[in-house]
Amino acid sequence: MVGVQERGGKVGYFITLEGPDGGGKSTQLKMLVPKLRERGVQVVTLGEPGGTALGRAIRRLVLDPGCVICPQAEVLLYAASRAQAVYEVVLPSLREGKVVVLERFLDSSLAYQAAGLGIPAREVLDANRLATGGLEPDLTILIDIDPARARRERLRGTRDRIEGRDEEYQRRVREGFLEVARKHPGRVRVVDGSLPVAEVERIVWHLVEESLRRAGVLRDEK
């Protein structure tokens, strides 16, 4: 793992937001960024896949319901988008001491492609080693939600290629995320995404603030 120290002297911090569709990742990201900026923290954010020109082109392909993509190719397309994000944005920003917040990272591949599609986790990790260079988030906030509930109450309109998969698939994805959380209790913090937005916001802020203080990125306000 590329630790804070090896990133080039300054202290950057890498946060990811993970979880099933509709849990509230984008909503929380939008609320978190201004709060960090208010405290003088330099923040860089991007969604995945996307965030770079290549990532956006890949995103169009992987989410297009008209595009036939085998599970192995799906893993590699996400990994390619991730590689571009890591080398174009994430690592340079961390080296400059910035806080980088990503919506989705490697844990999403473990959930959607390993747990969801049945590709062995080891193979998904191997395919992603080149993409991430071993970089791991310092903090992952897993916004957990029952996917059936998220679909019923939150996700309307047309479904993309992944959202169009059946309920059983979405259930495996959720379990996949929870399994990652169990394996990495130090890094992954689970938040109940079924709570009201403001309550999730409060919990997310508490977790982020605590972690950034511990890392010396945020200092006590005088």
Ligand X SMILES: Nc1ncnc2c1ncn2[C@@H]1O[C@H](COP(=O)(O)OP(=O)(O)OP(=O)(O)O)[C@@H](O)[C@H]1O
Q: Which residue number is nearest to ligand X in terms of Cβ?
A: 24
Please identify, using beta-carbon distances, which residue of 25 and 187 lies nearer to ligand X.
25
Residue ranges in 9-68 that form contacts with Mg ion under rule CB under 5 A:
25-26
- Residue 17 beta carbon to Mg ion: minimum distance, rounded to whole angstroms: 8
Applying CB under 6 A, does 55 fall inside the site for ligand X?
A: no
- Out of 2, 8, 11, 27, the only residue in the binding site for ligand X (CB under 6 A) is 27
The number of CA neighbours under 13 Å toward the Cβ of 212 is 27
Please identify, using beta-carbon distances, which residue of 89 and 162 lies nearer to ligand X.
162
Applying CB under 6 A, does 154 fall inside the site for ligand X?
A: yes
Please identify, using beta-carbon distances, which residue of 185 and 196 lies nearer to ligand X.
196
- Residue 118 beta carbon to Mg ion: minimum distance, rounded to whole angstroms: 25
- Residue 160 beta carbon to ligand X: minimum distance, rounded to whole angstroms: 9
Please identify, using beta-carbon distances, which residue of 42 and 194 lies nearer to ligand X.
194
Footprint of Mg ion on this chain (CB under 5 A)? 25-26
